[in-house]
Structure 1
Amino acid sequence: MQTLKSLPALAGAILALIIVLIVAFHFIFIDLFVDLWWFQSLKLEGYFWLRLLYKYFLSGGVTLAFFVIFFFHFWVASSYLGLNPREEVLNNFIKNQKFQRFADAFMYGSAKVYTPIALLLAIFIAIPFYNQWEQSLLYFFGGDSGVKESVYGNDVSFYMLSYPVYSLIQRELLITATLIFFMVGTLYWLEHIFVPDQSREFHLGAKIHLTILMAFVLIFVVWGFLLQRFNLLYTDSHEPIFYGPGSIEIRYQLPLIWLGIAAFLATAVTASLYIFSDKHRIKTPLFISAAFFVGVLVLPQIDFIPENIQDFIIDPNPVKTEKPFIQHNIDATLDAYDLKNIKTVDMPIKLNAAADIEKWSTQERFENIPVWDREFLLDSYKQLQEIRPYYSFLSVDEDQYSILNHTRQVNLAAREINISKLPPEAQNWENTHLRYTHGYGAVATPAAQDADKPVVWYLRDLNMQSDVGFDVKHPDIYYGEGQYDYAVVPNNLTVMGIAGTDPSVTGAYHGEGGIPVPSFFRKALFAFYFHDKNVFFSTNISTESKVKIFRNIKERVHKLTPYLHLDKDPYLVTTKDRFYWILDAYTLSPYYPVSKPTEAAASPSLEKFNYIRNSVKIVVDAFDGDVDYYIADPSDSLIKAYSNAYPGLFKNLQEMPNELRKHLRYPRDLYYLQMKMFAKYHQQSPELFYEQAETWTLANVNSKEVLPYYQTVNFGNCNDKEEFVLINPMTPVNRNNLSMIGAASVLDSSSCGANYKPGITVYKFGKDVQVNGPAQVEALINQNPEISAQFTLWGQYGSTVEMGRMIILPMGNSILYVQPVYLTSTKTKIPELSRVIVSIGNEVVMDTTLWSAFKHLKETYLKDAADSIGPGTSRAIVEPASK
């Protein structure tokens, strides 16, 4: 009967064990196996084990260390009883063996209690270390940057690599020491009351133990005060004037921190003497030191003192009192956002642009002006070149290629797979994972095109037709910007006519990427991993098949290196062999001292940061999925630490193949962020910074910011070599006239070689001549009766008129504006480049081609100059509508 009664309990235990094993197998072992196989397929198995080692060694080591600390003190407190009874009481306990039994039970039985307590406390304390183990990794593998902050004189790498770890350690050690002190004190107190007739004082051993624990608490509190000094470097109390500490923090709060340390030490010493010594039990020193300490703690919370300092000392003399602190903020921000090496060029503007127009009157100057906006071009690509319903263009990238012995700016887009556009009945398991597995090819068009004419194609169609020499051996795109599901290739299906133009040609995969599936064991594991039984039972998956997972390139890179922050705009590069994706990766930190924080799309995991470097260029093979990391900024402290921690993962930029390296460019997100910061911090003297008289803002058109755009420009550097640059115009705050044009390039202008050397040049205009900004040029266009009439006429034919991006081109001592005009038919929805508008000064010309519009602008401008009219009247020549 007893056996029968125990059967349900036994069955329940077995069932619970089975459930635990299944859950552990599924969520731990399967994921671990698949991750390992995936890293092996990328030839990064060593990196995989190294990350696991660091993660669990650091977190496990910290847990073990804190467990030993808790266990040791509990063991000391229970093994050595802090009892101090009178002699006759002790003899009585020994004679009756009560004391021995009590001691044995307490010393040996309590181990069953304090061991799990110590383990739970250790896990609780170690959780923050587990969550921040990669920050700890930077501490162990980092080094000095060679740049010192100007407030305390420490290397800035101390704040980015060490300071967060020290703050974490100090906080957790203080919690640990405080917990142990009170718990051990409670343990000694319980021991003290278990035996009657105890003497009033603890035993000497208990006093020593508690004194040591109090000393540790004292040390960690003092350490906290010392670290609090560095918190002053991140104060935002002076915003929006400047960021970082000012006179109040450095000359009022900082001395209070030092006084707090002295007051705390005095309080700790007098309290120890009062508690543990009858001879020195004097209340007066304790009260005095405690009152002093409380006063030091309370003073920073009293607002009237800093408010009076602000009202009567700082506000009457703001620049004089805050000048060194404003300078600290300027210097730190310029360095943290890599703005110190910006080259500023004063560009005088001439009212008479005749000489510049004459000099630029060669058609070669206009071969690379990007009149097609990628937003409009994407719609055209979709309508004209997706061809099959299961293909899709997700984005258009700008680049430059050598075409017909000349550098041409090109728009390029990958034709990616998108089976969601198939009929619902075709979106089955076999089609999704075995048949429609990849995109195919790309399209390319010149950035400069004539309006009112068919689109010129450099690369088009599924047969990869190209009249300019584009030829790709492996045009299949298995990895891209789309949200792809897993694919199993090659397989036993005969896939015909999906990618190519010949329906008899099969599209079997011949690459090396993916995880092999050589056995039923792996098939079974993948079936569990994907929650998909078809993986195991499908006869079309052979021993030659490979499973492709993490096929979105951003997801793929994030899986490998979650500590890198990616630019939101990867771009496609075509070579003779295959397509590649290049991604710009950033290292960010919120701990750069005195630097103004900001936010950007590059940091989804950080609310704010105040340091950024484009430290890594990442290349992803669109065919095989291989991922290669190249260090683009070896001066960055963060990437040096990661490179030391993960040897072999990051390569030198010189190791990148030349056919890829020549396509490196300045990243758009970084440049946008830098220009927004430089708009204020280009005022590098404290007086000018405080006045904010020359603060810039991004140029606006129709209440929208003119975002940075890529353009191939000849600035006269390197024997008139054209540069692929990012252009960004800025205007004064609350004004529309142009203040500057920023150009970000990667051309090494010093050697004129192919070395990657990113830099920014700001072409700054003087204040003596009015230079029209984009909004003012748009106003000239809208006010022109001929152009307005033409737009109205087009609207009557059932078309929508849309203005493209306004392109700004420095032209000698003049500024040329170019703006495309698009017509979108209400029937076909295909945008068409219909006209091009050019403008210099107040002259506006619209024509079908950029070159003819410029020639008409030249004729008009020179005629006005000859008639002594000058460029003060808005005029326009408009090519008659052809539709």
Structure 2
Amino acid sequence: MRNLKLLPALIGATVVIAVILYVAFYFIFLDLFVDLWWYQSLKLEAYFWLRLLYKFFLSGGVTLAFFAIFFFHFWIASRYLGINPADELLSNIDKRRRFQRFADTFMNGSAAVYTPISLILAIFIAIPFYNQWESTLLYFFGSDSGVTETVYGKDVSFYMLSYPTYMLIQQEMLITASLIFCMVGILYWLEHIFIPDENSEFPLGAKIHLTVLIGFVVAFVVWGFMLDRFTLLYTKTHEPIFYGPGFVELRYHLPLIWLEIVTFVATAITAGLFIFSEKHRVKTPFLISLALFLCVAGLPKIQFIPDLIQKYIVNPNPVKTNKSLMQHNIDATLAAYDLKNIKTVDMTINLDATNDIESWSTQKHFDNLPVWDREFIIDNYKQLQEIRPYYKFLSVDEDRYFVLDHTRQVNLAAREINISKLPPEAQNWENTHLRYTHGYGAAATPAAQDADKQLIWYLRDLNMYSDVGFSVKHPDIYYGQEQFHFAIVPNKLNIMGIAGTDPELAEPYHGEGGIPIPSLFRKALFAFYFKDEKIFFSTGITNQSKLKMRRNITERINRLTPFLHLDKDPYLVIDKDRFYWIQDAYTLSNKYPVSKPADDDFLEGHQDFNYIRNSVKVVVDAFDGDVDFYISDPSDAIIQAYSNAYPGVFKNLEEMPAELKKHLRYPRDLYYLQMKVYAKYHQKSPELFYEQAETWQFANVRGEQVLPYYQTMDFGNCNDAEEFVMINPMTPFNRGNLSMIGVAGTLDQTNCGGAYKPGITVYKFGKDIQVNGPAQVEALIHQNPLISEQFTLWDQSGSRIEMGRMIILPMGNNVLYVQPVYIVSTKNKIPQLIRVIVSVGNEVVMDKTLWSAFNRLKQIYIKNAAEGNGTITSKPALERIKN
């Protein structure tokens, strides 16, 4: 009978245990095993355990520390300090026994109550540390950057690495001290009320304990005030004029903070004297201190005082009162966005362009002008080179390769796998995970091509044909930008004729990437992990099979290093052995002192930030999936802290293979952000900064911004070396003429070696001569009757004219504009480069090739000179141009 009564309890306990085991298996051990195997496949097992150790050490250590703090104070309060028996109690045995009985209840029995309470409170307090454990590593492993901010004189690494952790600790410790004070006070009160024969006065021990707790509360409040000083560095009150503290903050709010500290400490001291004084006689100093503190604490809430200061002191003298503070903002912003070392070249414009045309009259200058935009040529790649319905080009990248005797700019794209265009019945489990497992090869074309001709290919087709020397031993692409499913290779399926053109050349995967599946146990675990029983029951999977997961390179890198922020444009690199992806990664901070925060159009899903460095170059093997991290900016304090925390993960850039290092480039997104900031902050004196008379904006054409674009060109910096740079033109604010051309590259212009040394050069135009901007050049194009008439003829009968990206380059003492013109069929949407337009000064020429257009432009200048419409100061130069 007794067994029957216990049966429901046993069943209930069994169900509870089963649920706990199921949850633990599914959400802890299963993920742990799969992640461990995945890190092992990447040869990063030590990194996996180190991250796990840090996470549980910090999270568990913080929880244990807070539990110990709560438990210690509860234990002290209940066991030692809360009992204060009356004198007559000691002579009365019955009263003494009754007193002892109640005292034992508090001293021993209450432990069963305050132990779980301490644990619950510790977990509650430690939750913010669980969420921010990785950023807390910066505090432990960071070091000084060597850059000092000018307001408080602290190293900027204090704000980026330590300050956020200090704020977190201060808030949590203040909450903890306040909770302990309140709860211990309640515990003393309960002891005092429920234990009989207690004195009316609290015992001295209780008073001392509560006073110590008040002291902790006071200390953490004062620490909070001290940290509040630094919040003034991030005020937005003075925007859009400047960012950071102004006269009001440093001359009014900062002294108020110090007054708050002084009056609060005075209040705490006098409160202690009041508590411990005989019959609480020391009351007046406490009331005076409290009144002063409340008055000072209320002053920041009274807005009319700073408004009066602003109105009668600052506004009549805005530059004089805020000059040094605007300078702080300028210097800090330029440093935070790595803009302090920009090289500026004052470019004098010569209306007579004949000498510049002569110096550019070599074929080499036209071999790399990118007349094919990647936004247009992607349609050609899709129509002509996807070839099979299960391949897809996601985007076209730009790069440079040594082809046909010199460095040439190349467009290229990876042919990735995507089975969404297969018939629905073919999109089954076996095809998705065992058969159509990877992309194959790439397509490449020169960026500079002649118009009205067939597109030239450097690399094409599934047989990887190339007549310029491109050759890849392992062209399979298992990892890329596509949203891949998991794949299991090699397997027992007879896969023929999917990747290459010759079925006899088909061979199983023989790389090193992926997680081995040597046993039924792993098959079962993977089936549970992916919630896919076919993994376990499939007969196509062998003991030699490997599971490839997290094959999207962005997901892959984010999983490994969630503290890095990735550029939106990873790019493909062709190597003789295989393909690689290079991904630019950034370290960000929103705590760089006095630096203006970035706008919200930079990184997708980014945090607010006011500091950025392209500190890491990530290389992903498209065949095996290996991921390597290389530090590209050793001056960055954040990446150095992470490198110290995770030794061996981040390599020096010198360790990168030389063939890959040749293809490093200046990131497009970073350059866009830097130029957006520099458009205002190039005005480095407070007077100019306040006037904003020379503020720039991105050049506009056809209602859209001319965004930075890549260009391979010899700028005459290093012995005729051709540089792969980014070009960015800018105009005055709300004007169409050109103000500057920014050039960002990675060439070491000092030593002219192969070292990676990113830098920006700004070619700045004077104000005395108007320089046409892209919108004005486009107006000249449409005003040309011959060009306009030709456009009208083309833009009909099933086709339309599209204007490509306008190429803008400094050319001697002039600016060269090149405008590609495409004709697009409305049926197949394949664009064709039909003409190129070249413009220098106010002259515009359209032809089929850059070379012929430029020659025609020379003839126009010769004719103008002969007719007296232009001035050629050098007769020998004129003769050379005629010849």
SS in 2 for 1:543: strand
Q: Quick one: distance in 1 between partners of 2:599 and 2:796?
A: 45
Q: Cα offset for 1:783?
A: 2.3
Task: Verify: 1:860 aligned to 2:875, yes or no.
Answer: no
How far the C-alpha of 1:95 sits from its partner, in A, is: 4.4
| 1-structure distance, mates of 2:600, 2:313 | 37
Task: Tell me what 2:293 maps to.
Answer: 293
Which residue is equivalent to 1:806? 806
Whole-angstrom CA distance in 2 between matches of 1:503 and 1:333: 59
CA positional deviation for 1:282: 3.1
SS of the residue 1:532 aligns to: coil
Structure 1 range deviating more: 122-131 or 853-862: 853-862
Separation (CA, whole Å) in 1 of partners of 2:94 and 2:575: 91
**Separation of aligned partners in 2, 1:643 and 1:748:** 25
Paired position in structure 1 for 2:793? 793
- Separation (CA, whole Å) in 1 of partners of 2:647 and 2:184: 45
Match of 1:677 in 2: 677
Instruction: Identify which range, 850-859 or 634-643, moves more after superposition.
Output: 850-859
Distance 1:818 1:91, change over 3 A: farther
Which residue identity lines up with residue 46 of structure 1 in the other structure? A
Aligned partner of 1:431 in structure 2 is 431
Alignment of 1:289-438 (within 5 A): 289-438=289-438
The CA distance in 1 between the partners of 2:556 and 2:866, in whole Å, is 63
Q: How does 1:227-246 map to 2 (within 5 A)?
A: 227-246=227-246
Instruction: Give the Cα separation in 1 of the matches to 2:96 and 2:672.
Output: 85
Shifted more, 71-80 versus 192-201: the winner is 192-201
CA distance 1:47–1:600, shift in 2 (3 Å): farther
When the two chains are superposed, the root-mean-square deviation of aligned CA atoms in Å is 1.3
Compared CA separation, residues 94 and 320, structure 1 to 2 (3 A): farther
Displacement after TM superposition at 1:93 (Å)? 6.8
Q: Could you say which residue in structure 2 is the equivalent of 1:483?
A: 483
Shift of 1:5: 3.4
After superposition, give the CA deviation of every residue in 1:812-871 in whole Å (9 maximum; x if it has no partner). Answer: 101110011111111221111111111111111111111111111221232123222349
Deviation at 1:197, TM superposition (A): 5.5
Is contact 2:90-2:96 (8 Å) kept?
A: no
Tell me which amino acid in the other structure corresponds to 1:856: R
Q: CA deviation at 1:272?
A: 1.6
Residue number in structure 1 paired with 2:152: 152
Is 1:108 the counterpart of 2:113 in the alignment?
A: no
Shift in Å, 1:13: 2.3
Point out where structure 2 has 5 or more consecutive residues left out of the alignment. 872-883
Q: TM-score, normalised by structure 2?
A: 0.97
Aligned residue in 2 for 1:542? 542
User: Which residue does 2:560 correspond to in 1?
Assistant: 560
- TM-score (ref. length: structure 1): 0.97
* 1:464 pairs with 2:464: yes
- Is residue 185 from structure 1 mapped to residue 192 from structure 2 by the alignment? no
Counterpart in 1 of 2:203? 203
Structure 1 residue 28, shift from structure 2 partner: 1.0
Q: Distance in 2 between matches of 1:667 and 1:331?
A: 23
Q: Does 1:78 align with 2:94?
A: no
Matched residue SS, 2:505: coil
Tell me, what secondary structure is at the counterpart of 1:466?
Answer: coil
Residues 85, 195 of structure 1: 8 Å contact kept: no
Aligned to 1:880: none
User: 2 CA distance for matches of 1:248 and 1:198?
Assistant: 56
**Take 2:8 and 2:776, find their aligned partners in 1: how far apart are those partners?**
85
Aligned to 1:449: 449
Asked if structure 2 preserves the Cα contact closer than 8 Å seen for 1:346 and 1:764, the reply is yes
Give the distance between the partners of 2:208 and 2:807, measured in 1 at CA.
78
Paired residues of 1:93 and 1:99 also in contact (CA < 8 A): no
CA deviation after TM superposition for structure 1 residue 796, in Å: 2.2
1:824 corresponding residue in structure 2: 824
CA distance in 2, matches of 1:868, 1:675: 41
Secondary structure in structure 2 of the residue aligned to 1:544: strand
Measured against aligned partners, the alpha-carbon deviations of 1:669-708 in whole angstroms (never above 9, x if no partner) come to 1100000000001000011101111010111112211110
Deviations 1:499-554 (A, max 9, x none): 01012332310100000000000000000011111111111100000000000001
Find the counterpart in structure 2 of residue 10 from structure 1.
Answer: 10
Q: Which whole-Å CA distance do the structure 2 matches of 1:227 and 1:151 have between them?
A: 14
Aligned twin of 2:129: 129
* 1:349 match: secondary structure: coil
User: How far apart, in 2, do the equivalents of 1:22 and 1:598 lie?
Assistant: 46
In 2, distance between residues paired with 1:504 and 1:842?
61
Q: Aligned letter for 1:164?
A: P
Query: 2 CA distance for matches of 1:654 and 1:283?
Result: 71
Contact 2:395 2:413 in 1 (8 A): yes
Counterpart residue type for residue 839 of structure 2: S
Change in CA separation of 1:298 and 1:219 when aligned onto 2, cut-off 3 Å: same
* Partner Cα distance (2:603, 2:863) in 1: 54
Paired residues of 1:81 and 1:191 also in contact (CA < 8 A): no
**Alpha-carbon deviations, 1:100-125, whole Å to 9, x = none?**
21111221111110000000000011
Q: Secondary structure at the match of 2:543?
A: coil
- With over 3 angstroms needed to count, the CA separation of the structure-2 counterparts of 1:777 and 1:101, relative to structure 1, is same
Give the letter for the 2:255 counterpart: P
Counterpart for residue 742 of structure 1: 742
Unaligned runs of 5+ in 1: 872-883
Alpha-carbon distance in structure 2 between the residues aligned to 1:170 and 1:216: 11
CA distance in 2, matches of 1:698, 1:868: 36
For residues 714 and 403 of structure 1, the distance between their equivalents in structure 2, rounded to whole angstroms, comes to 16
What one-letter code is carried by the residue in structure 2 that aligns with 1:661?
Answer: K
Partners of 2:357 and 2:286 in 1: CA distance: 86
Larger mean Cα displacement after TM superposition, 828-837 or 188-197: 188-197
The code of the aligned residue for 2:177 comes to A
Alignment of 1:29-44 (within 5 A): 29-44=29-44
* Contact 2:267–2:289 (CA under 8 A) maintained in structure 1: yes
SS at match of 2:310: helix
Kindly indicate whether the alpha-carbon contact (under 8 Å) linking 1:499 and 1:507 is maintained by their aligned counterparts in 2.
no
Counterpart position of 2:880? none
Alpha-carbon offset, residue 84 of structure 1: 2.6
- Alpha-carbon offset, residue 298 of structure 1: 0.7
Task: Look up the match of 2:875.
Answer: none
1:96 positional shift: 6.1
Instruction: Out of 282-291 and 454-463, give the one that drifted further.
Output: 282-291
Structure 1 stretch displaced more, 196-205 or 651-660: 196-205
Alpha-carbon distance, 1:722 to partner: 1.3
User: 2: CA distance between counterparts of 1:6 and 1:60?
Assistant: 38
Residue 606 (structure 1) shift: 4.2
C-alpha distance in structure 1 between counterparts of 2:779 and 2:734, whole Å: 16
Contact 1:416 1:439 (C-alpha < 8 Å) held by counterparts: yes
In the alignment, which residue of structure 2 is the partner of 1:569? Answer: 569
Match of 2:653 in 1: 653
The alignment partner of 2:398 has SS state of strand
Is the 1:472–1:574 contact (alpha carbons within 8 Å) kept by the matching residues of 2?
yes
Question: Does the aligned pair in 2 maintain the 1:565–1:602 contact within 8 Å?
Answer: no
Alignment of 1:46-85 (within 5 A): 46-85=46-85
Shift of 1:450: 0.5
- Give the match for residue 627 of structure 1: 627
- After superposition, the C-alpha distances for 1:228-287 in whole angstroms (9 at most, x for unaligned) are 111111111111111111111111111111111110011111112222322552332122
Equivalent residues, number: 871
CA displacement, residues 180-225 of structure 1 (integer Å, 9 cap, x when unaligned): 0011011101111124554332101101111111111111111111
Partner of 2:609: 609
What is the match of residue 876 of structure 2? none
Which residue does the alignment assign to 1:878?
A: none
Work out whether residues 106 and 191 of structure 2, in 8 Å CA contact, stay in contact via their aligned partners in 1.
Answer: no
> Corresponding residue for 2:590?
590
Q: Secondary structure at the match of 1:797?
A: coil
